[in-house]
Amino acid sequence: MDLNYSPEELAFRDEVRTWLQSNLPQDLKEKVARYSHLSKEDLLRWHKILAKQGWVAPAWPKEWGGTGWTPVQRYLFEEELGYAGGPMLIPFGLSMCAPVLLRFGTEAQKQRFLPRIYHGEDFWCQGYSEPGSGSDLASLKTKAIREKDCYIVNGQKIWTTLAHYADWIFCLVRTDPNAERRQEGISFLLMDMKAPGITVRPLMLMDGAHEVNEVFFDDVKVPAGNLVHEEGKGWTVAKYLLGYERMNTGRIGESKRQLAALKQFSSSINNDTRFRDRLSRLEVELMALEITNLRFLDRMRRTGQPPGADVSMLKITGTEIQQSITELMMQAADPAAHDDFSGAIRKRYLSMRKTTIYAGSNEIQRNIIAKMTLGL
């Protein structure tokens, strides 16, 4: 196993780093550094800068705008993005819906949706979780009944991230309520958020931000041509998509940047032995996570196969590290301070409580590892 980068890979990393230094808008970088709210316009501006460079969808096939980079180059690119402090590329279109369309979509669906996703012309969100159907996703109740050339959809989704920005939503719906197994009878639909009968209501988070929403469907008509894969086979699509989602939750580059900021921010309490101990342990855990990620990359480089169930390790450790960094930031901050940055740290601490829940809670991830990797 080779965990070292080749000279070509290091040259590629330097090329990406230099380009980011010249092309990442300073105002966006400062917003990210201050943990400020990023508008839809902010997110799309950065998306379109990368699209113009040809770097917005590295993992896509070249015929659809992909770069043709190796898995290691894609990893280096993602980590440099995080370390540079650019806005996060919203994954719902680029790295969730698009891989599904490339794998399961019809040619008409690819032609219709992929170019618009690539150029940032459509903003997507994800319709999976429901009240009572989060980690137990197969218990979802939103139903879709086929009537001639369309489906009539009724139900509710919850915790729908950025649905108030979205033009489209990909949804899991139940098309056969009488299926013997709960995982059967579920279908994957693409839905226009402007369709009559769709209502979006905000859910305010602990940090006061409007990031997630409830989405209601009341007799929404969805063209049958927006069904992805086969009717009743949506669970196959859902599992495929979740694998892509979990690979993107480690965010090692971003955590490196946050850790560096924490070291600078916490210099005033570095004489606290217990704080230094926690900080050192956190840095070691982050290094171990990076090595684990490199092991996956080495295997992908040698076999050409994506990681299996053990990719859940990245999700568990990565999100726990993200939370630990904000906990130490809270410890380092002056509790009596009322400046904007101290307030932003408190908000970020509250916001990061959710990281161990989304993309399948870490408890669920441990069960997956136990069953699929350890055979328990």
DSSP state of 327: H
CATH architecture of 124-232: Beta Barrel (2.40)
Q: What is the 3-state secondary structure (H, E, C) of 240-274?
A: HHHHHHHHCCCCHHHHHHHHHHHHHHCHHHCCCHH
Active site residue 245: yes
| Residue 338, pLDDT score | 67
Average pLDDT value for the chain: 89
Residue 70 contacts residue 301 (beta carbons within 8 Å): yes
| Residue 248, pLDDT score | 61
From 211, 245, 254, 290, the catalytic residue: 245
| Residue 300, pLDDT score | 67
Query: CA-CA distance, 129 to 157, in Å (whole number)?
Result: 6
Residue 349 contacts residue 326 (beta carbons within 8 Å): yes
Q: What is the pLDDT of residues 307-362, one digit of tens each?
A: 566 778 888 999 999 999 999 988 887 766 666 777 888 888 888 888 888 777 88
User: Average pLDDT of 81-107?
Assistant: 94
| Residue 344, pLDDT score | 82
User: Average pLDDT of 145-167?
Assistant: 97
| Residue 319, pLDDT score | 92
Amino acid identity at 148: K
CATH architecture of 249-373: Up-down Bundle (1.20)
- Of 7-21, 290-304, 353-367, which range is least confident? 290-304
DSSP state of 149: T
Beta-bridged to residue 281, according to DSSP, are none
Q: What is the pLDDT of residues 249-277, one digit of tens each?
A: 678 889 999 998 888 776 666 678 888 89
The count of residues in the chain is: 376
| Residue 296, pLDDT score | 75
CA distances (Å), origin 340, targets 311, 322, 331, 347:
37, 21, 17, 10
Residues 6 or more apart whose CB falls under 8 angstroms from that of 27 comprise none
Q: Residue 1: pLDDT above 60?
A: no
| Residue 269, pLDDT score | 66
Q: Residue 243: pLDDT above 70?
A: no
pLDDT class of 2 with cuts at 50, 70, 90: low
pLDDT class of 127 with cuts at 50, 70, 90: very high
pLDDT class of 132 with cuts at 50, 70, 90: confident
| Fold match, 124-232 / 249-373 | no
Domain ranges of the chain: 7-89, 124-232, 249-373
- Of 228-242, 293-307, 337-351, which range is least confident? 293-307
- Of 20-29, 78-87, 145-154, which range is least confident? 78-87
Q: Residue 306: pLDDT above 60?
A: no
Query: CA-CA distance, 313 to 362, in Å (whole number)?
Result: 9
Q: Residue 162: pLDDT above 90?
A: yes
| Residue 350, pLDDT score | 87
Q: What is the pLDDT of residues 98-122, one digit of tens each?
A: 999 999 999 999 999 999 999 999 9
For the chain, count helices (H), then strands (E).
13, 8
